Amino acid sequence: MSIGNEFQRQAIAAHVAQRLAGPARAILGFQELLVEQARDLSLPDMQPDLERIGTAARQLNGLIDHLLDGTACSEEVPLTEAEARLRHDLRTPLNAIIGYSEMLLEDARDVHEHPLTEDLGVILAAAAELLKQVDAIAGLSRGHAIEMLQSAEQSGIDAAGLERLLFTTEREAWTDQGGRILVVDDVASNRDLLSRRLRREGHRVVTAESGLSALARLAEDEFDLILLDILMPDMNGIEMLSRLKSEDRWRHVPVIMISGLSEVAAVAKCIEAGADDYLTKPFNPVLLRARINSTLEKKRWLDREHHYLQQIEAEKRRGDTLIHAILPDQIVSRLQDGEEIIADRFEEVSILFADIVGFSAIATRLPPSDLVSRLDGMFSRFDLLTEQHRVEKIKTIGDAYMAACGIPEPAADHADRIVALAKSMLQSLRDMPPERDRFRVRIGIHSGPVVAGLIGRLRFVYDVWGETVNIASRLESQGIADGIQISEATRRSLRGQWTLEPRCALDLRGIGTIETYLVQ
């Protein structure tokens, strides 16, 4: 046999795959649906004719399957003779399908608004279209279509391109627990059959007649599953599948490929491209239901997993926020890097203590809720100020507030930053509305070496120890209301221009005499 004849036979097979197989399998599918409806509606008189339609439909699909696998077009038979035999063989079951369907439709019309009328009309329409397509087979071995196919042979066009070419030459031939499913198929009867079956199973169905229209539907709505035909005119199923898997917004949506092609190579290509499953036409109702329900169940589990991962991520972010609110960022990073014991010595650090004057008397006059609310308001303002001045809050102790600068990151201007913080703290209290029990604070600051580290296991605390801390606390307790008292060591560490007033020499037990200054 010549290469030209071989290619023409391939053209007939491709034509059948798109033009004949779809309507023929739709007829079988609607026949199965009618059998189920007749059984549900207790219509036993219709069952024999429905079974005859089913027998003819299976015979029709068998002939088409033989043609697709190459057994119906023998190389020894001339192409025109093969076409004639094919038309004859296909017409026999078609005539049976049309005859029995017309009889059933006449019986059904005798009953007002019979529920089976619509589906019988679909079978008849599909059969009539098939008759036109059977007659059109005679034109495949001659004329413009073959000329285009022969030029395609020379250019090395693939099977998908061949199918698109055939479709172009005959574009007018065929014009709760449930999930939200998008059915993509260019054959209207296939879309209708699948939609009807899926809706009977409780699914919500949206249809698209092409790859481009399916993408438009996806842009407007969300779906739990996509049933995607392989052979379509504008964008074949493999192309659309690749597009879906390349987009983050659609990558997680499962896709089941549907086709009349049952070759292992086609199945493998779809799975490699990212398909979750593959179904061949005509559909076995039980298998269709099982595959769809299984895929939807996996999708639900994946959605739950995604939801749980989001919850875990949200809790992790919340935990990170909390631990960053408690500990300095550098200490958090060291903990995350696996350090178990965090302890450091710093030679140049400034420590601040602030304490409320007459707090005990105020506490006895205020209701507990008012007292806690006012303390929270004051300390919250102090927290914001520490961030602004890049000073580390260490802790609150009752009504006292402790901060440090120069830890855990050394800072040359540690004294200036902490004095600026102290002035801002006093100003924030002066800016509060005047009231009888307005808080007034004393502030003490000292600079020197400290040891800082992380203690605790159930409740982490980043704390500071050493004589510098003790002296700062004593300077605060012996300071004045609404005043900032600093030590000689802090004065020497200041780099900026500050107005200082010498106050006195304090004799601190166990430490000795320390010169002090008030910051104006």
Task: Find the CATH number of the domain harbouring 286.
Answer: 3.40.50.2300
User: Three-state SS for 506?
Assistant: strand
- Structure tokens given for 43: 């219509």
State the pLDDT at residue 157: 38
Is 67 found in the same domain as 182?
no
Range of the domain at 466: 329-519
* Residue 498 φ then ψ, to 5°: -125, 145
What is the count of structural domains for the chain?
Answer: 3
Residue 339 maps to a domain: yes
Q: Is residue 193 part of a domain?
A: yes
DSSP β-ladder status, 400-405 and 343-356: antiparallel
Do 133 and 254 reside in the same domain of the chain?
A: no
Q: Are 102 and 183 in the same domain? A: no
If asked whether residues 132 and 201 sit together in one domain, one would say no
Neighbours of 269 (CB within 10 A): 17
- Is 153 inside any structural domain? no
User: Which of 87, 121, 139 delimits the end of a domain?
Assistant: 139
Q: Which residues 6+ apart lie within 8 Å of 42 measured at CB?
A: none
Instruction: Give the domain-ending residue among 304, 320, 348.
Output: 304
Sign of CA dihedral 484, 486, 492, 493: negative
Quote the pLDDT of residue 110: 66
pLDDT of residue 173: 33
Would you state the pLDDT for residue 349? 96
457 and 503 housed in the same domain: yes
Give the three-class secondary structure for 162. Answer: helix
Per-residue pLDDT at 159: 39
Entry pTM: 0.49
Give me the CATH number covering residue 486: 3.30.70.1230
Asked if 17 and 118 sit in the same domain, the reply is yes
Shared-domain flag, residues 421 and 459: yes
The secondary element (H helix, E strand) that includes residue 254 is: none
The pLDDT of residue 113 is 53
- Does a structural domain hold residue 273? yes
Q: For residue 137, what pLDDT is reported?
A: 60
Pair (18, 109) in one structural domain: yes
Query: Is 309 within the bounds of a domain?
Result: no
Domain check: are 382 and 503 in the same one?
Answer: yes
198 and 63 in a single domain? The answer is: no
Helix (H) or strand (E) holding 507: strand 500-508
Question: What CATH number is attached to the domain comprising 97?
Answer: 1.20.120.230
The pair phi, psi for residue 485, each rounded to 5°, is -110, 125
Q: Does some domain include residue 117?
A: yes
129 with 181, same domain: the answer is no
- In sign, the C-alpha dihedral spanning 62, 64, 65, 69 is positive
pLDDT one digit per residue (tens) for the chain, 520 residues: 454 555 555 555 555 555 778 788 888 888 888 998 888 888 888 888 899 899 989 988 888 877 666 554 444 555 556 566 666 678 778 878 888 888 888 777 766 556 788 888 888 888 888 887 776 665 544 444 444 334 434 434 343 443 444 344 333 333 346 889 999 988 887 788 788 888 878 899 999 999 899 999 999 999 999 999 888 878 888 889 989 989 888 988 999 988 766 667 777 888 888 898 888 776 677 788 888 888 888 888 888 888 888 888 888 888 888 887 778 888 888 888 888 888 899 999 999 999 999 998 888 888 999 899 889 999 999 999 999 999 999 999 889 999 999 999 899 999 999 999 999 999 999 888 777 678 899 999 999 999 999 887 777 788 999 999 999 999 999 999 999 999 999 999 999 889 999 988 888 887 888 899 999 8
Q: Is residue 320 part of a domain?
A: no
Give the pair of three-digit tokens for residue 387: 């961030």
> Is residue 158 one of the residues assigned to a domain?
no
Model pLDDT, residue 466 = 93
Say if residue 119 is in the same domain as residue 217.
Answer: no
